[in-house]
């Protein structure tokens, strides 16, 4: 993670021309095919030209469950990981009117916290209770990255207590950048889907988190799994805390979304994380079990297909191709001509960067599965470790 943020010059007025240039430059960077880290380094530096800030944090979100699957930090937030678990609890365990999951549904997907507290009937104490005492921040601008109905991440920009707070113009500009950020995050996901040697699977790992949000037990290999999920020098406690918080909300009935997310580990494996609450025979409650396992194709295919930005009809065609259905049968099932199916396939191939059905299938199932096809099945019912 690069040092890309800088001390804000809040007396500087961002002109409409500067804002337009930032919007244009970010759109170009978003479609440049960069991996996530390279994209974010360029993107945060670009945003700083129009929205100065001292620190920034970008979170990955699973587009299906909207749960946190990782984070990148910039500016004076680099190396400050001690409060990640508290952030996860604040974001996903409590009723939070400015949570990213709340911003997703709003017409304007951005908010400045000081401005919110001045104008809204339900204020938030996140600045006074969390950001200011732990980081010395005086204001926060939050935005979720959405393209259409799908959300790929979110960002917080911060200013110090002696800096001018974010203004409505900053919120409007951040909102206008949300789709480009979503495209860049989505493209970054695909940029990592490169061929290589298959990674040996190690089986599921299990953690038990107690009522105080501390990991009290873990299975063999669980700590190694956790280290594969982080880009910092600390274990990814924010991801775990988000899952735990979501599991408790699901158990209490305040959400109908199970605590589940998909992400790609540093070693290239796609993983699925799931959390659920436990109850003891003596009636004690509060513990949550978190399971980390290698993802199966049905769990990942929708995520990868969504990242290609296909139209609904292109998705229908792609899913039938993955089932081995030929062009004529696809046309029959979708009630279109074979020529129309071929047109859809050409568009899918262009978006996926492939030239044939075979390459499309390999691109979607990628190196995690294709190199291991034909190997022995292990006791878990999945590919045996080679």
**Cβ neighbours around 78 below 10 Å, total:** 18
Q: Let me know whether 339 and 221 are in one domain.
A: no
The answer to the question of residue 199 being in a domain is no
Contact 286, 303 (CB under 8 A): no
The answer to the question of residue 166 being in a domain is yes
Q: Let me know whether 150 and 218 are in one domain.
A: no
Residue 283: which CATH number? Answer: 3.30.450.20
* Cα separation, 354 vs 37, whole angstroms: 24
The residue among 186, 240, 248 whose CA lies nearest residue 211 is 248
End position of a domain, from candidates 156, 191, 226: 191
pLDDT at 49: 95
* Cα separation, 59 vs 68, whole angstroms: 6
The answer to the question of residue 380 being in a domain is no
Q: Let me know whether 156 and 214 are in one domain.
A: no
The answer to the question of residue 382 being in a domain is no
Domain that holds residue 318: 310-372
The residue among 7, 91, 83 whose CA lies nearest residue 48 is 7
The answer to the question of residue 210 being in a domain is yes
* Cα separation, 355 vs 129, whole angstroms: 54
* Cα separation, 245 vs 225, whole angstroms: 20
Strands (E), 265-326: 270-279, 285-294
DSSP string, 221-260: THHHHHHTT-SSSS--HHHHHHHHHHHHHHHHTS-SS-EE
Q: Let me know whether 187 and 228 are in one domain.
A: no
Give the gyration radius of the chain's Cα atoms.
Answer: 22
Q: Let me know whether 210 and 183 are in one domain.
A: no
End position of a domain, from candidates 238, 260, 295: 295
* Cα separation, 352 vs 321, whole angstroms: 14
* Cα separation, 231 vs 227, whole angstroms: 8
Residue 314: which CATH number? Answer: 1.10.10.10
Both structure tokens of 40: 């974010």
Q: Let me know whether 154 and 76 are in one domain.
A: yes
Query: What's the predicted TM-score (pTM) here?
Result: 0.78
pLDDT, mean of each 10-residue run, the chain (386 residues): 44 78 96 90 96 95 87 91 83 83 90 95 91 95 92 96 95 96 89 52 82 87 83 72 89 87 80 88 80 83 84 91 91 95 94 87 63 45 45
Phi, psi of 259 (to 5 degrees): -80, 95
Tokens 């500087």: give the residue: 12
Q: Let me know whether 162 and 239 are in one domain.
A: no
Phi, psi of 163 (to 5 degrees): -90, 160
Q: Let me know whether 86 and 182 are in one domain.
A: yes
The answer to the question of residue 304 being in a domain is no
pLDDT at 139: 97
* Cα separation, 30 vs 184, whole angstroms: 4
End position of a domain, from candidates 265, 295, 325: 295
The answer to the question of residue 1 being in a domain is no
The answer to the question of residue 386 being in a domain is no
* Cα separation, 133 vs 339, whole angstroms: 63
Both structure tokens of 187: 């493209």
Residue 90: which CATH number? Answer: 3.30.450.40
Contact 138, 127 (CB under 8 A): yes
pLDDT at 371: 45
Both structure tokens of 224: 């190694």
pLDDT at 7: 45
Q: Let me know whether 24 and 143 are in one domain.
A: yes
* Cα separation, 194 vs 378, whole angstroms: 26
Q: Let me know whether 160 and 20 are in one domain.
A: yes
> Strands 68-75 and 110-112, how do they pair?
unpaired
Q: Let me know whether 283 and 152 are in one domain.
A: no
Q: Let me know whether 49 and 126 are in one domain.
A: yes
């Amino acid at each position: 993670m690069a040092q890309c943020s800088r001390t804000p010059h809040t007396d500087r007025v961002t002109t409409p021309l500067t804002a337009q240039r930032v919007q244009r430059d970010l759109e170009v960077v978003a479609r440049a095919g960069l991996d996530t880290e390279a994209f974010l380094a360029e993107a945060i530096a670009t945003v700083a030209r129009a929205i100065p800030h001292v620190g920034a944090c970008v979170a990955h979100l699973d587009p299906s469950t909207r749960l946190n699957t990782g984070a990148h930090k910039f500016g004076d937030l680099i190396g400050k990981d001690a409060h990640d678990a508290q952030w996860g609890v604040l974001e996903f365990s409590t009723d939070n009117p400015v949570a990213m999951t709340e911003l997703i549904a709003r017409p304007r997907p951005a908010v400045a916290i000081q401005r919110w507290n001045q104008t809204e009937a339900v204020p938030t104490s996140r600045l006074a209770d969390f950001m200011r005492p732990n980081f010395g921040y005086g204001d926060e601008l939050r935005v979720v990255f959405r393209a259409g109905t799908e959300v790929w991440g979110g960002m917080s920009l911060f200013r110090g207590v002696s800096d001018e707070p974010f203004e409505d113009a900053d919120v409007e500009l951040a909102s206008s950048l949300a789709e480009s950020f979503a495209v860049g995050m989505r493209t970054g996901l695909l940029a990592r889907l490169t061929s290589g040697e298959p990674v040996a699977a190690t089986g599921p790992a299990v953690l038990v988190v107690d009522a105080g949000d501390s990991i009290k037990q873990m299975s063999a290999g669980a700590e190694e799994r956790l280290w594969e999920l982080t880009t910092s020098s600390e274990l990814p406690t924010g991801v775990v805390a988000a899952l735990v918080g979501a599991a408790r909300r699901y158990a209490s009935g305040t959400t109908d979304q199970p605590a589940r997310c998909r992400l790609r580990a540093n070693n290239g494996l796609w993983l699925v994380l799931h959390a659920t609450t436990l109850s003891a025979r003596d009636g004690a409650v509060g513990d949550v079990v978190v399971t980390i396992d290698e993802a199966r194709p049905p769990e990942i295919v929708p995520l990868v297909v969504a990242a290609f930005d296909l139209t609904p009809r292109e998705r229908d065609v792609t899913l039938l191709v993955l089932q081995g259905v030929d062009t004529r049968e696809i046309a029959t099932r979708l009630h279109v001509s074979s020529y129309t199916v071929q047109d859809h396939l050409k568009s899918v191939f262009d978006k996926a960067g492939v030239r044939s059905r075979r390459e499309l299938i390999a691109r979607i199932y990628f190196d995690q599965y294709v190199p291991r096809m034909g190997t022995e099945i292990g006791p878990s019912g999945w590919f045996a470790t080679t």
